[in-house]
Structure 1
Amino acid sequence: MSLVTGMRSNNKEPAGVVVTGGVTPNSLGIVRSFGRRGIPVVYLDSGPRSIVSYSRYIKQRIKCPSADESEDEFIRVLLDFGGRIDNKMVLICTLDGDVLALSRHKRELEQFYYVPMPEFDTVEKLVYKRNFYRLLAEMGIPHPKTWFPQNLDQVRVMGREIAYPYIVKPSYSPTFQWKFGLKCFVVNSTQDLGRAVDRLEGRGIDVVIQEIIPGRGVYEFFTYLPGESEPLGVCGWDKIRYYPTDFGSGTFCESVWHREAVERGLQFLKAIGYCGMASVELKKDPRDGEYKFLEVNARVTLQHRLAAACGVDIPYIAYRDACGYDVPDIAAPSSGVIWVDDFVDLLPFLTHIKRREVGIGEIVKSLKPGKVHSVLAWDDPAPVIVRAVKSGMSALRLLRRRYTGSAS
């Protein structure tokens, strides 16, 4: 049976969901969430090494470049597929480049899909950090002090005048992460500044300079706003560990409700007329006790299955609302639920132990059973097996480089 035939339905249920790209547990969690409910899932496979493509809950994989690789081809594939299905499907994305492309072509895509995401102008203000921090400054919203160099010469000049430490971070994160495997450069000295500028030379990457707020903890909440009304679901968590360590994606998180942070984040989203799924990251500054905005992602966040485990499945809420179905009232999210990024979290955990930054309480939480896993699932074992093999091969390559380097 072909995909298109298999996706047709005689009832009022839409044909299913299309998960656009992403090779991380972010996309995998969405695939499993809808697949377990019997909702057909189409996965746009943009990565040759994707663990997501091994999930048994995918009804069909469509090879497609990511929007960052070719926006025209990305949209063409979606329009071509949309023209061959009878019932509208819901588009859900996990990548910044994809949400930019989908929002830019939202009107065309709405012929065939439900597209529960903001307008392009709003997405552009959030995805590009230069725009985002300027917007925060214009609105008088607390955030880390940020400088806006126009070129690398200005990075050198400004960098020498700013007190260390600070970070040099990209305006558009995906390109930077793809080239360097990092979210930012940490600058502790003139030598670090020189190395950062040298690495950026000739790359064409726009960057900003930003102060570092002391402390480890970052708070994130994930929500869905259907428009100008109140959010239909909210769940938050403390990011306790990250990879890369200190400035990276959360790898060990615990659900908790910080009312002040949530209220500030929602107030901002409403002020800009936001609609769709969003994750908001803030950090409490110990110097003045204020929550400072770090970023707002206009897409599904990596830890969204933590919210689901707490009783707030945001992508499913967005799906039901986009399709015009009733969304049941959501109870207050559970606190104290732990989410861990399988295998990846081991690296920052060992780093913090080496630094003597891990207390007994964190060790107990790390060993606690019943955690929510990013990849491990007994009903869908293939992705975790693939990740285990790949993680093992990566560790061997790292050891080999260290061994050969020390031996030479």
Structure 2
Amino acid sequence: MPGAVVLGGDYQGLGIARSLGRRGVRTLVVDDERSIARASRWTAASLRVPSLRTDDDVLDALSLARARRGDLTGWVVFPTRDEQVAALSRHRSLLTRTWRIPTPGWDCVRVAWDKRETYRMAQKLGVPAPRTSSEPDFTAPVLVKPAIKEHFFYATGAKAWRADSPAELRERFAAAAAIVPEDEIMVQEMIPGDDQFSYCAFVKDGSAVASMTVRRARQHPSDFGRASTFVRSVPVPALAERSLCFLREIGYYGLVEMEYKLDPRDGEFKLLDVNARTWGYHTLGAAAGIDFPYLLFRDQIGQPLPAPGPARAGVSWIRLATDLPNFLVDLRAGRVRAGDYLRTLRGIDTEAVFSWRDPLPGLYEVALLPYLAVKRGL
């Protein structure tokens, strides 16, 4: 049976390696950081490369994997970052001569990759989304955010900037224009509240083979989070119809997470992002009865797919390495009470890294916390 190459070895990549490895699938983790997935009992091998940020980096890494590990023809490649998704998509016709690439073609992926395209498609289909402009003329408070996340994120470490006055908006807009092209800068209305949800699915032929909806209760940082830190599965039927409408229109195949925020002003779930890959908390799926990476792998190698039932509601996932420090910051700022936070820790179903069946990655992460804090703020 062919194996799998996982591009990125943090907790997201670790979840993929565990999903496949415990079923006998050989897994090679390729990373440009000191990753925890290499310590897993389910990782067959690992490879450190200089970088995975550009198209050439990804192509070189896959070539190096073949040179170092022998014949990997037919192995399935799992990206874990948006820039890797873009690289695999843009070079799909070349890569599929050797690899199984579960990433759609560029005409499809660019709608998720470029948020200008995302919001244009949402408007075309009548999928609610926040009001967005390319000009710094919105009434504050607003968000200043990039259309293509990676160009901005690696320079600033932020997903978006908040502006609370017209003067601050102009200042933020000018600062962003010094980092990325001005036409990549978006000014977006602030949706009040903290009710964030996601629709997660394996989509094939216009239908969801398996799906799950969740409430992303906490994130890091708390204002404009780069990653979720506490998530619980919840039934939100309204998200499935609009999400599948969007995905059918662009001809999507594979794993996807679509992020929404509930707007208390009109009661609408408004589309924020489309992530064309596994998402950070995808291991919540396995705890709720749907192992997303394994479903995708089976489909890629031509094996029949099981018919998973609906994801169980009320299943919780946490990443303590970021959730606990974030709580301490919010506690000092008076945004949360200790008792309320501690009550959410009762009955956690799955932790992002720690596992009694595979304890070394958890121990390795503790040792790497100073490195991770400096490298990418955890």
TM-score (norm 1): 0.83
Aligned equivalents of 1:202 and 1:396: distance in 2? Answer: 24
Gaps of 5+ in 2: none
Structure 1: which 4+ aligned runs deviate by more than 6 Å? 393-397
Which amino acid in the other structure matches residue 125 of structure 2? M
* Distance in structure 2 (CA, Å) of the matches to 1:239 and 1:104: 31
Distance 2:297 2:289 in 1: 16
CA distance in 1, matches of 2:20, 2:199: 21
Shift of residue 312 of structure 1?
Answer: 0.7
Give the match for residue 348 of structure 1. 326
CA separation of 1:82 and 1:239: change in aligned 2, threshold 3 A: same
TM-superposed CA distance for 1:37, in Å, is 1.6
2:212 to 235, 254, 275: 235
2:344 aligned with 1:331, yes or no?
A: no
- State whether structure 2 residue 53 is matched by structure 1 residue 68: yes
Instruction: State the alpha-carbon separation in 1 of the partners of residues 362 and 17 from structure 2.
Output: 14
**Within 5 Å, which residues of 2 pair with 1:36-47?**
36-47=22-33
User: What per-residue deviation string (whole Å, max 9, x for no partner) do you get for residues 17-50 of structure 1?
Assistant: 1101x24311111111111222100111222x32
2:5 corresponds to which letter in structure 1? V
Instruction: Return the alpha-carbon distance in structure 2 between the equivalents of residues 391 and 81 of structure 1.
Output: 28
Q: Is the Cα–Cα contact under 8 Å of residues 279 and 301 in structure 1 kept in the other structure?
A: yes
Alignment counterpart, residue 53 of structure 1, candidates 9, 17, 38:
38
CA shift at 1:66, angstroms? 4.2
1:269 aligned to 2:254? no
Question: What secondary structure sits across from 1:231 in the alignment?
Answer: strand
Q: Contact 1:91–1:113 (CA<8 Å) still a contact in 2?
A: yes
1-side partners of 2:369 and 2:220: how far apart? 14
What amino acid does structure 2 have at the position aligned with 1:378? W
2:127 match: 141
Q: Is the 8 A contact 2:129 2:270 kept in 1?
A: yes
Residue in structure 2 matched with residue 225 of structure 1 by the alignment: 203
Q: Provide the residue aligned with 2:114 in structure 1.
A: 128
1:366 & 1:394 partners in 2: Cα distance? 25
Q: What TM-score, normalized by structure 2, do the two folds share?
A: 0.90
Aligned partner of residue 31 in structure 1, secondary structure: helix
Compute the displacement of 1:165 (Å). 1.0
What is the SS of the residue equivalent to 2:243?
Answer: helix
Are residues 302 and 393 of structure 1, via their aligned partners in 2, closer, same or farther at CA, if it must alter by over 3 Å? closer
Q: Which residue matches 1:291?
A: 269
Whether the 8 Å CA contact 2:32–2:48 is kept in 1: the answer is: yes
8 Å CA contact 1:245–1:351 kept in 2: the answer is: no
CA radius of gyration, larger in: 1
How far did residue 390 of structure 1 move? 3.5
| 1:118 pairs with 2:104 | yes
Show CA shifts across 1:132-169 (max 9, x none).
122222333210000014xxxxxxxx2xx322111101
Mark the runs of 5 or more structure 1 residues left unpaired by the alignment.
1-12, 150-157, 398-408
**Contact 1:167 1:186 (8 Å CA) reproduced:** yes
Partner of 1:88: 74
Residues 38-78 of structure 1: per-residue CA shift (max 9 Å, x gap)? 2100111222x323333332222223344424x22421442
Residues of 2 paired with 1:80 and 1:23: CA distance?
A: 17
Structure 2: which amino acid aligns with 1:245?
S
Q: How does 1:4-403 map to 2 (within 5 A)?
A: 13=1, 15-20=2-7, 22-47=8-33, 49-69=34-54, 71-79=55-63, 81=65, 84-85=70-71, 87-149=73-135, 158=136, 161-190=137-166, 192-193=168-169, 195-197=171-173, 199-200=175-176, 202-205=178-181, 206-228=184-206, 230-248=207-225, 249-354=227-332, 356-358=334-336, 362-363=340-341, 365-391=343-369
Name whichever of 82-91 and 217-226 sits farther off.
Answer: 82-91
CA distance in structure 2 between the aligned counterparts of 1:39 and 1:176, rounded to whole angstroms: 36
Distance across 2 between alignment mates of 1:97 and 1:200: 20
Residue identity (%): 32
Whether the 8 Å CA contact 1:227–1:276 is kept in 2: the answer is no
Shift of 1:394: 7.4
Q: 1:353 to 1:77 in 2, by over 3 A?
A: closer
- SS in structure 2 of the partner of residue 282 of structure 1: strand
> 1:330–1:359: structure 2 CA closer, same or farther, 3 Å change rule?
farther
**CA separation of 1:361 and 1:213: change in aligned 2, threshold 3 A:** farther
Amino acid at match of 2:44: K
Q: Secondary structure at the match of 1:385?
A: helix
Do the aligned partners of 1:284 and 1:290 also contact (CA within 8 Å) in 2? yes
Distance verdict in 2 for CA 1:378–1:111, change over 3 Å: same
* Counterparts of 1:211 and 1:396, CA distance in 2: 31
- Kept in 2: contact 1:25–1:375 (CA 8 A): yes
- In structure 2, do the counterparts of structure 1 residues 138 and 92 end up closer, same or farther at CA, with 3 Å as the change threshold? same
The AA in structure 1 aligned to 2:4 is V
Contact 1:42 1:58 in 2 (8 A): yes
- When residues 364 and 72 of structure 1 are mapped into structure 2, their CA distance, relative to the original with a 3 A threshold, is closer
Instruction: State the 1:341 CA deviation.
Output: 1.2
Q: Is the 8 A contact 2:38 2:45 kept in 1?
A: no
Q: Alignment length, in residue pairs?
A: 370
Specify the code of the residue in structure 2 equivalent to 1:265. S
